[in-house]
Amino acid sequence: MGEVILSWFWTTMKKRIPLTFLLIALLVGVGILVDYLRGVPRDTQASYVGSGKCAECHQSEFDRWHGSPHDRAMDLASSETVLGDFDSAKLTYQGVTSQMFREGDRYMIHTEGPDGEMDDFEVKYVFGFDPLQQYMVEFPDGRVQVLRVSWDTNKEEWFYHYPPDVRDEKLAPDDPLHWTGRMSNWQQMCAECHSTNLQKNFDLQSVCYQTTFAEIDVSCETCHGPGSLHVQLADAPSLFWDRYHGYGLPDLKSKNAKIEIESCAPCHSRRHRVAGDFRPGGELLDYFEPALLREGLYHADGQIQDEVYVYGSFLQSKMHAKGIRCTDCHDPHTTRLKYQGNQLCTSCHQHPSGKYDVPAHHHHLPGSSGAQCVACHMPETNYMIVDPRRDHSIRNPRPDLSVELGVPNACTQCHLEIENRGEGEPYADLLAAANAGDVAVKKIINRIDRQMLAATEKWYGEPEEKHPHFAYAFDAARKRKMGAEEQLVGLLNQKDLPGIVWATAIDYLSELNTPSSRAAVIGQIGHPDPLVRGVSIRNLHQRGYSGKDLVEAVGPYLTDPVRMVRSSAVGVLAPHRQLLAPEMRIAFDRAAVEFTEGQRADADLAGSHYNLANFSLDAEKIGQAETEYLHALKLDPSFFPARFNLGMLYSRTGKDEEAEAAFRTLVAQDPSAGLPRYRLGLILGRMKKFTEAEQSLLQAIEREPKNFDYHYALAILYLESGALEKSLNQARRLEALVPGVPATGELVRAIQREMKATLLKKESGNARIPSDRTDGE
């Protein structure tokens, strides 16, 4: 009996086991699916958790970061962080002797303050550690100011970090470049790239800061973004990361190198803000626009000139075009190079014959400084007096461009230093002097340039290029040479040019404002590169297009996927909103809010209020424009464009006394400028203050003798005041100054008619009046 029951049991179970397993598998599958679908809401915003939290799981990366330049980007002043000599050390520069000393645990400096008087200031923060350390003072209004007295960590000595071009001048206490001025203000110039999640918290009414940061230095979350969501997902009892948010951080290791590069770019570029609250992994142009290759920032061939950092250079490189990214060369946590010497380059640029790292290629003694790849392809320029930085456009030396255009080249830089035995002025300063007209220096540099050209042509032959280098076009544009427009338009036919070069060509073309240049600019608004697209659209503003044409051409870009392009479009269309279709008006209003919010993110900058004022003026919001101009001047009373535009606004709205006051202030601020005197003269003439108006216009002409408008305005003033002889003589001078201008001929004829009418009136008044009486009565 027992055997029968057992047999029945196994038979039954064999029939039911597949069904049981199927049910179990189904339940497990449903559980996994529910686990996958039960994600974090799409709109969840991550918050900052601190590098300590990151270290709990990523100790190795944390250890490599600890002590790195990012970790030491900023810190509280303490015995562990201060490197400078504060044992009553002194430094004298331009007649000011600063003394660095200690008061207990406090680090102090006795130096010139904002009122021009010597005073004691506490050093609250330190900035950086190699090759220099800077020191910062906090003021009662929350401002943090960076001292120009700095510590050279290599020479272990104090030095004065003078601004470019003012080496031999003492900065006045009210100079923006003085250490207490706005150009040395931490919040405006430095803060967001030396701390994590910096919030300026500026109050315009009180002109005070209550600045905060998540961490004082450049920590994990500066590069990876806020980590709370990542921590939440890592701690969750789930088989998956999130279907919407991935692992809760941007994928910096993505095959698309753009994600990583643009996460580094905000702090390694010269740029201006489009919007606030950038997070790594975002589209750079949604938040920042990089500076173009303009004069004063870059040389005509795109080499670094001013302190532009590296992003704008790297965009020009073949490395960038090939998808190379920052971490191919730099360890992201230590920031050190991955390899030393030429191995950094030959780790990728390999050749069976040793093609590159051999004398046959570099023509220098192996192991010498001239045999280093970076010496030729990434030359250094010193910034902040002691900080050498390499040009990341990674180009071949071009002595031929140096001979023809006066741009630098790595060969001359090195050989000039050899000739000077490492002493004397830096190459960049000597080159600037040569280009400014120093004949003796120019002769020396030109001699070495030609020697280098002869050598490179002997070794490598002439450069092989499908098209002339863009340096020729940019140099022609900068110097207003004949043929500049043709060369710039020619660049737009070179499809392999980097976007930043293309955008710069558009920017130069827009300044010419000829029919053909305008056609070239408007032809680029659909370019696939958003930087080119945005620059092209922005440069359509006030360029002679009808409102209807602008609405038709630019309207679609109010909904462009990139915010910088939308901001450009809304700026161009501000005067023409009423011409937009209803759906376009909605897009315009959305883009206008974006633009305004972007400017408000820098509410402590006069330039942001100036931009808002101009936008309001274009939109015919006169009161709002006036308010924003006044805000700009509250932050920077010397801001010429804001005061000038405010004066123009007052003139346009009939507020002549306010306009007069604005232009008189500008005249006092810049005694050498002709424009404010011209505008003041026009206002005074309209107010019938003819003598003062004449004086102001004559002063404007004295400063700009060939300015047609100034001479014309003076002739009109004389005409309106009844000084007809003076008016005619002035008009004749105008004809000689600029022959063939129809307006001048019309003015001469108008004056002559007025003179004739005046003469007839005078003769009529002097004629004998006949008597009604007859003779003999």
Tens digit of each residue's pLDDT (9 = 90 or more) over 403-429: 999 999 999 999 988 887 666 778 888
Tens digit of each residue's pLDDT (9 = 90 or more) over 85-137: 999 999 999 999 999 999 999 999 999 999 999 999 999 999 999 999 999 99
Count of alpha carbons within 13 angstroms of residue 215, beta-carbon side? 21
Mean pLDDT lowest among 343-352, 368-377, 393-402, 652-661: 343-352
pLDDT above 80 (res 30): no
Segment holding 163, helix H or strand E: none
Q: How far apart are CA 378 and CA 380, in angstroms?
A: 7
Segment holding 111, helix H or strand E: strand 106-112
Classify residue 762 by its DSSP letter.
H
What pLDDT is recorded for position 142?
A: 97
- More confident position, 15 or 500: 500
What pLDDT is recorded for position 290?
A: 98
pLDDT above 70 (res 6): no
The pLDDT confidence band at residue 28, using thresholds 50, 70 and 90, is confident
Which pairing describes strands 132-138 and 118-123: parallel, antiparallel, or unpaired? unpaired
Backbone angles phi, psi at 731, to 5 degrees: -65, -35
Over range 288-310, report the average pLDDT: 97
What pLDDT is recorded for position 13?
A: 53
193-206 burial by CB neighbour count: b if 16+ within 10 A, else e?
A: bbbbbbbbebeeee
Q: How far apart are CA 238 and CA 232, in angstroms?
A: 11
What pLDDT is recorded for position 492?
A: 94
The share of the chain scoring above pLDDT 70, in percent, equals: 94
- More confident position, 487 or 764: 487
Q: How far apart are CA 302 and CA 293, in angstroms?
A: 6
The alpha carbon of 90 is separated from its chain's Cα centroid by a whole number of angstroms, namely 36
Mean pLDDT, all residues of the chain: 92
Which pairing describes strands 271-273 and 288-290: parallel, antiparallel, or unpaired? antiparallel
pLDDT above 90 (res 534): yes
Residue 609 CB coordination number (10 Å): 27
Q: How far is CA 639 from CA 46, 440, 602, 644, 676, in A?
A: 39, 38, 16, 9, 13
Q: Which two tokens stand for residue 237?
A: 């009892």
Q: Evaluate whether 275 touches 287 at the Cβ level (below 8 Å).
A: yes
The share of the chain scoring above pLDDT 90, in percent, equals: 78
Classify residue 770 by its DSSP letter.
P
The pLDDT confidence band at residue 543, using thresholds 50, 70 and 90, is confident
Nearest Cα to Cα of residue 266 among 194, 206, 337, 204: 194
Q: How far apart are CA 215 and CA 217, in angstroms?
A: 6
Q: Which two tokens stand for residue 539?
A: 């440069």
Tens digit of each residue's pLDDT (9 = 90 or more) over 460-470: 988 887 789 99
316-323 long-range contacts (CB < 8 A, ≥24 apart) are: 316/393, 316/395, 316/498, 316/500, 316/501, 317/392, 317/393, 317/394, 317/395, 317/498, 318/394, 319/394, 320/261, 320/498, 321/498, 323/257
Over range 382-390, report the average pLDDT: 94
Cis upstream peptide for 114 (omega within 30°):
no
Q: How far apart are CA 695 and CA 267, in angstroms?
A: 50
Q: Which two tokens stand for residue 60?
A: 């190795």
Q: How far is CA 399 from CA 299, 314, 353, 552, in A?
A: 14, 21, 27, 47
Nearest Cα to Cα of residue 402 among 414, 410, 394: 410
Q: Which two tokens stand for residue 368?
A: 């010498």
Beta bridge partners of 271: 290
DSSP states of 697-717: HHHHHHHSTT-HHHHHHHHHH
Q: How far is CA 687 from CA 189, 559, 694, 699, in A?
A: 43, 47, 12, 19
Residue owning tokens 């044409």: 549
Please, which residues have CB within 8 angstroms of residue 533's CB and are 6 or more apart in sequence? 524, 525, 526, 527, 557, 560, 562, 565
What pLDDT is recorded for position 777?
A: 31
What pLDDT is recorded for position 2?
A: 60
Q: How far apart are CA 595 and CA 590, in angstroms?
A: 9
Q: How far apart are CA 748 and CA 754, in angstroms?
A: 10
pLDDT above 50 (res 400): yes
Q: Which two tokens stand for residue 379?
A: 């030359």
Tens digit of each residue's pLDDT (9 = 90 or more) over 565-584: 999 999 999 999 999 999 99
pLDDT above 90 (res 536): yes
pLDDT above 50 (res 178): yes
Tens digit of each residue's pLDDT (9 = 90 or more) over 157-174: 999 999 987 888 899 999
Over range 244-271, report the average pLDDT: 94
What pLDDT is recorded for position 416?
A: 87
What pLDDT is recorded for position 25?
A: 77
pLDDT above 80 (res 177): yes
The alpha carbon of 250 is separated from its chain's Cα centroid by a whole number of angstroms, namely 26
What pLDDT is recorded for position 1?
A: 57
Over range 303-309, report the average pLDDT: 96
Please, which residues have CB within 8 angstroms of residue 246's CB and are 6 or more apart in sequence? none
Q: Evaluate whether 159 touches 386 at the Cβ level (below 8 Å).
A: yes
Taking only Cα atoms into account, the Rg of the chain, rounded to an integer number of angstroms, comes to 34
Tens digit of each residue's pLDDT (9 = 90 or more) over 628-670: 999 999 999 999 999 999 999 999 999 999 999 999 999 999 9
Tens digit of each residue's pLDDT (9 = 90 or more) over 181-238: 999 999 999 999 999 999 999 999 999 999 999 999 999 999 999 999 999 998 888 7
Please, which residues have CB within 8 angstroms of residue 504's CB and are 6 or more apart in sequence? 292, 293, 294, 474
Burial class (CB in 10 A: 0-12, 13-18, 19+), 506: buried
Q: How far apart are CA 453 and CA 397, in angstroms?
A: 10
Q: Which two tokens stand for residue 28?
A: 């497990």
